[in-house]
Structure 1
Amino acid sequence: MKSMKKLIAGNWKMNGSEAGAVSLMKDIGDGLAKNPDLMDHCDFLVCPPAIHIYVVKRQIDHMYSPVDIGGQDCAATENGAYTGQISAEMLKDTGCRYVLAGHSERRIYQQETSGFISEKAARAHLHGLIPIICVGEQEREREEGRAFDIVAKQLSESLPDGVTAENTVIAYEPVWAIGTGKSATPDDVKAMHGFIREKLAHYKDIRILYGGSVKPGNATALFSTENVNGALIGGASLDAAQFLGIARAL
C-alpha cells in the first residue's frame, strides 16, 4: 500500500454554542500554526453541528488553515418536502468536503439501515462529498463472537456503487467503545482493520479510521497498528489540546 497521510477527524456531535464553535476552531488553527509539522503526516477534518458549519468554515478561511470541514449527516434524497433534513448539495454549498454516513448513534437512535446509509453515501458522491461510512459491532455481538460477521454485512450493504479509495473513507467504531471510556485493544483493532482491509481489497488504498474513546494516551498504541489510517474522534475533539495531541501521538 502506498504511504498516505493519517486523517484526524473530529465529530463534535450536538455540542457547543456558535461562539464556542468559533473559539474551538481558532484554538485548533492556532495549534496547527505553532506545530506545522503535524500537517506533514496528517490531514485534519472537523464536523461541527450543521447550524455551526458556516461560522466554523469562515473561521477556517480567516486563518488560512488547512482544515477540512464536514457534515455529521446528510439526507438520502435530493430535495423536497423533508422537514429538518439537510441535503448533500446544501453541505457542499457551505464548503463541506466530507460527510459522516451511518454513525452508530444514527444506526441506533434513528434506526438507520445499511441500505439507507448506502443511499446517503451515493447522494454524497453525486455532489462531490467524501462519505465517511461507519461500521461497527455492539458489545453483545462481540461477546457472541459475531463481530466480524456484523461488520462484513454492514460493509456489504452500506457501500454504494462507484466507491473508490479517493471518494470514500471507512470508519470502524465498536459501539461499546463510543463515549464509554472503553477502547478496543490494539490487538482487537489490528484484527478488525485487517479484516476490513481484506474485505475491501479491491480498494487497496482506501482509508480506514478507528473511532471509540480515542485519547492522546492511547493513540500511539492504537494507530501504530497496520491498516489504521487515522481516527474518528468524538469527545476528545471538543478540546483542541487533546485533538492535536492525538495527531502528535501518531
Structure 2
Amino acid sequence: MKKLAAGNWKMNGLTAALAEVKALNAANPHPLCEMLLCPPATLLAQMHQAATGSNLALGGQDCHQDASGAHTGDISAAMLRDVGAQYVILGHSERRADHGETSALVKAKARAALMAGLIPIICIGET
C-alpha cells in the first residue's frame, strides 16, 4: 500500500501559488508516496489543470452533507469532484471548534463524499 502525504493549505494561497504546484511535481516526479494537495476551493479547478499529467492528487478541505440546496457559501462533494478533487478532508479540529461540527455531521458528510466518488479523510482528534 502506498503512503499518502497530504498538505492542507487551509485559508492560504492565491493564484500565484499555482507555479509552486508545477515546481513540486518537477522536483519529485516519482514519489515514494502519493502527494495530496488540499488548497482553498477557489483554487481547485486551476490547480487541477496545473497538476494534469502529474503525480499530484487534489482534495477539498470540507464539503456539505447535502448534494445541493440553499446553502450559501458551502460546496457539495459533487462540486469538488467536478473540479478534479479525489479526496476531501472532513472533521478537522478547526471545523469542529469554529463551526461546531459534530461527529454525526462528519458522518453525514462522509456519506455524501462517498456517494460523489470522493475518498474522505476523516480527522479524529487534534494530531
TM-score interval for Structure 1 and Structure 2 normalised by the shorter chain: over 0.9
1:65 is matched with which residue? 54
Identity of aligned residues (%): 47
2:22 is matched with which residue? 26
1:180-199 paired onto structure 2 within 5 Å: none
Shift of 1:16: 1.6
Instruction: Give CA deviations for 1:122-155 in whole Å, capped at 9, x if unaligned.
Output: 000001100000011xxxxxxxxxxxxxxxxxxx
Letter paired with 1:95? G
- Of the candidates 93, 97, 107, which is equivalent to residue 118 of structure 1? 107
1:73-222 paired onto structure 2 within 5 Å: 73-136=62-125, 173-174=126-127
Instruction: Give the distance between the partners of 2:67 and 2:28, measured in 1 at CA.
Output: 36
Letter paired with 1:57? H
1:13 is matched with which residue? 10
The TM-score, its normalising length taken from structure 2, stands at 0.96
Q: Structure 1: which 5+ runs fail to align?
A: 137-172, 175-250
Instruction: Give the distance between the partners of 1:29 and 1:52, measured in 2 at CA.
Output: 17
Shift of 1:30: 1.4
1:46 is matched with which residue? 37
Instruction: Give the distance between the partners of 1:6 and 1:89, measured in 2 at CA.
Output: 25
- Decide which structure has greater helix share: 1
Look up the SS of the partner of 1:65 in the other structure.
Answer: coil
Shift of 1:12: 0.6
Letter paired with 1:90? M
Instruction: Give the distance between the partners of 2:116 and 2:12, measured in 1 at CA.
Output: 27
- Structure 1 runs (4+) deviating above 4 angstroms are none
1:215 is matched with which residue? none
Instruction: Give the distance between the partners of 1:81 and 1:108, measured in 2 at CA.
Output: 24
Letter paired with 1:118? K
Larger gyration radius, structure 1 or structure 2: 1
Instruction: Give CA deviations for 1:62-121 in whole Å, capped at 9, x if unaligned.
Output: xx2111100000001110111111000101111110000001100101110000000000
The TM-score, its normalising length taken from structure 1, stands at 0.50
Q: Structure 2: which 5+ runs fail to align?
A: none
Instruction: Give the distance between the partners of 1:90 and 1:16, measured in 2 at CA.
Output: 20
Letter paired with 1:18? T
Shift of 1:31: 1.1
Letter paired with 1:101? L
Instruction: Give the distance between the partners of 2:50 and 2:93, measured in 1 at CA.
Output: 29
- Decide which structure has greater strand share: 2
Letter paired with 2:38? C
